[in-house]
Amino acid sequence: MLLDLDPASPVPIYQQVVDGIRRLVAVGALRSGDQVPTVRDLAAQLRVNRNTVARAIQDLEAQGVVRTRVGQGTFIAAAAEEAAGASREGLLGEAIDRLITEARQLGVALQDLPEAVRRRVVEHSHRHGKGKR
């Protein structure tokens, strides 16, 4: 489970865990039927409170991303990708929507957004290495 958590973030830990697992599903690192570590183990790995992990798993179950079978453990659900929009496109779409909302509130014309993003991406590339990053 490669989840890097940031305790300093305003996003609550359990939410970071939820987001992280959804992302792993979206990216294909976790697939239908894969077993998710037990709450106990996951808590130990991530060095967070068990309640926190339990809450995250609960949320993921409510979203249909995982399925718990009593006595057997927790598994990535059959339709995990579609469920909860956990596809790469779904998550990216949500992120873009957040940007659009902010732009609207700032009174920025939406048709200018793609160009603004393009410029920013270029800046990032220059700052962090080669152009293709």
Partner DNA sequence: GTGGTCTAGACCACG
Please tell me whether residue 2 adopts helix, strand or coil conformation.
Answer: coil
Please say which residue, 32 or 51, places its beta carbon nearer to DNA. Answer: 51
- Applying CB under 7 A, among 1, 58, 63, 85 the residue interacting with DNA is 58
6 binds a copy of itself (CB under 8 A): no
CB 50 within 8 A of CB 42: no
Size of interface with DNA, in residues (CB under 7 A): 27
12 binds DNA (CB under 7 A): yes
36 binds, among a copy of itself, DNA, none (CB under 5 to 8 A by kind): DNA
Planar angle of CA 64, 69, 71, nearest 5 degrees: 155
Q: Please list the helix, strand and coil fractions of the chain in percent, rounded to the nearest 5, in that order.
A: 55, 10, 35
Find the shortest distance in angstroms from Cβ 1 to a copy of itself.
14
107 binds a copy of itself (CB under 8 A): yes
Spell out where the chain has E strands.
35-36, 66-69, 73-76
124 binds a copy of itself (CB under 8 A): yes
Sheet of strand 73-76: strand arrangement: 35-36, 73-76, 66-69
- Applying CB under 8 A, among 5, 23, 38, 68 the residue interacting with a copy of itself is 23
Residues that bind DNA (CB under 7 A): 10, 12-15, 36, 38-41, 48-52, 54-55, 57-58, 61, 68-74
